[in-house]
Amino acid sequence: MSDMTLLDAVNRALFFEMKHDENVVVLGEDVGVNGGVFRATSGLQQEFGVKRVMDTPLAEALISGLAVGMSTQGLRPVMEIQFMGFIFPALEHIICHAARMRNRTRGRLSCPLVLRAPYSGGIRAPEHHSESTEALLTHIPGLRVVVPSSPMRAYGLLLAAIRDPDPVIFLEPKRIYRAVNQPVTEGEALPLDMCFTLREGSDITLVSWGACIPDALAAATTLAAEHDISAEVIDAATLQPLDMETIQNSVAKTGRCVIIHEANKSHGVGAEIAAQLAEKSLLDLQAPICRVTGFDTVVPYFQNENSFLPDQHDIVQAVLKTINFS
């Protein structure tokens, strides 16, 4: 067990799987010689060679097409898209082929690939670098969508994603890449397709994922200390397929729910969670579900980005509003 950042955890998970499975290969723009734009793949090419850690042209459609072909022929490619805002040329192969391959061939072929992409805001980057468009991908049958929120979950979920027999989209919240160090156990995978209850509570359920989880936990601490409110914090982690059972069980206990995400408010994953709670848990709710989210606009540049991102204060205010509903 050793302490590492989320970025370190991604690197070490890739190293572990490549060491133990010769079919795991890494490809993408600058992932080899330079070790990736954030250095998530640093040292891998030096350790495993150019045939297993491949620098590609600046061509996302090419990267995803290669990954689909590799994955149908026995390899387990891990492709990197430098920023989520550059993912769109890759989606033709991911949506039309990777996500459909198992169904198209009636199980004869599948695509055990992972698409990694730094995503979300918080580093004051220019246009195309700060999007949180996970809802686009959760709508596609055949894709898993995973978002880690800590070094431990980044490491364990990436191991599980690489080992999964079907395509996984692995979105890495870049503003918490180096935010904290956490003990991580080598080789220990975590289960996909389930939520993680990070803090037990009795008065309200906070549901979030990715970089908003630290804010949700901080808000829960403030609520307990300053308002005597006990908040349960749930990390959704795998957004598709979504573990609604854990969320429903929590809401049955607390009677209230606030959903927090960085993406635009309309048509987001938070809306899907709210819809399912309305369908299945309406009689458990003592107040309307509240969403704390980004705005329905392009993420603004630089200092103005802080006004777009939900924070601890926004969460606390939403909880107080929900608790005091009558």
Active site residues: 129
Scanning the structure block, which residue is given the tokens 């180096």?
178
Q: Helices 6-20 and 151-163, interaxial angle, to 10°?
A: 30
Residue 235: strand pairing partners: 196, 208
Q: How far apart are CA 217 and CA 219, in angstroms?
A: 5
Scanning the structure block, which residue is given the tokens 């491949």?
54
Peptide bond into 141 cis (omega under 30): no
The pair of three-digit structure tokens given for residue 185, joined into one six-digit string: 């156990």
- Cβ(138)–Cβ(102) under 8 Å? no
Tell me the torsion sign for CA atoms 83, 39, 169, 250: negative
The shares of helix, strand and coil residues in the chain, as percent rounded to the nearest 5, are 40, 20, 40
The pair of three-digit structure tokens given for residue 202, joined into one six-digit string: 């009795």
Q: How far apart are CA 80 and CA 115, in angstroms?
A: 6
Cα angle value 77/80/84 (rounded, 5°) = 135
E strands, 215-300, in order: 231-235, 238-240, 257-264, 290-294
Please give the backbone phi and psi of residue 78, each rounded to the nearest 5 degrees, phi first: -115, 105
The pair of three-digit structure tokens given for residue 120, joined into one six-digit string: 């979300």
Q: How far apart are CA 155 and CA 7, in angstroms?
A: 9
